[in-house]
Amino acid sequence: MSLALFPLNTVLFPGCTLDLQIFEARYLDMIGRCMKKDESFGVVCILGKTEAGHITDAHAVVGCEALIRDFKQQDNGLLGIRVEGGRRFRVYDVTVQKDQLLLGEVHWLDEQPDKALEEEDEDLLALLQALAEHPMVASLDMDTNAEGQQALANQLAYLLPFTDDDKVRLLTMDSPQERLDMIQALLDELQGELFT
């Protein structure tokens, strides 16, 4: 399966909302094609550091499908789009088109069956509900009523201030329970850093 790739300094998760401003010609063309054909594109996190103002080609091999949900011209004249995270994928090969757009050969990753939230998930659910009240999160109009471990894990991984490397590791995990366990461990680390 071929998928146009949009490398960004963020990690998109399934079911989560991301607002983008599009200004480069290659991405404007990509969005136009996606909208005409009712197709999606893939968001992959940039892992390379900038060198002399240029970003290296290094990006995560696991990314998330971006489904265009809304678009409008911004006050600054740029195209604004809102996307929702769809399926996770692994990139096996990348070709660079003439316009420098990256086209990835991807394989969709299987999702494990969702499990109902358990008693030990209550603290993490309370954290998600508190995050949902923040104006920046509320402006995303994201459904933060997580009814299963998958949604809870995806939304917390997306919204919490973890490093990009940690977020990529979370996106790579197939098990929602493993993802929640890692989120708890990362939160414990953050809390330990705050009080040392």
**pLDDT one-digit tens code per residue, 94-145:** 998 998 899 999 999 998 888 999 999 999 999 999 999 988 888 888 877 7
pLDDT bucket at 65, cuts 50 / 70 / 90: very high
Model pLDDT for residues 74-86, shown as the tens digit of each residue? 888 788 999 999 9
The total of other beta-carbon atoms located within 10 Å of residue 193's CB is 8
Amino acid 139: pLDDT: 87
Residue 181 class from Cβ within 10 Å (0-12 exposed, 13-18 middle, 19+ buried)?
middle
| Angle formed by the axes of helices 149-159 and 164-172, nearest 10° | 160
Average of pLDDT values for 143-154? 88
The pair of structure tokens assigned to 115 is: 């499990």
The pair of structure tokens assigned to 54 is: 């240029």
Model pLDDT for residues 16-55, shown as the tens digit of each residue? 999 999 988 899 999 999 999 999 999 999 986 554 444 4
Amino acid 195: pLDDT: 59
d(CA 196, CA 192) in angstroms, rounded, equals 6
* Structural domains in the chain plus CATH codes: 2-108 (2.30.130.40), 119-194 (1.20.58)
User: Which of the 8 DSSP states describes residue 54?
Assistant: E
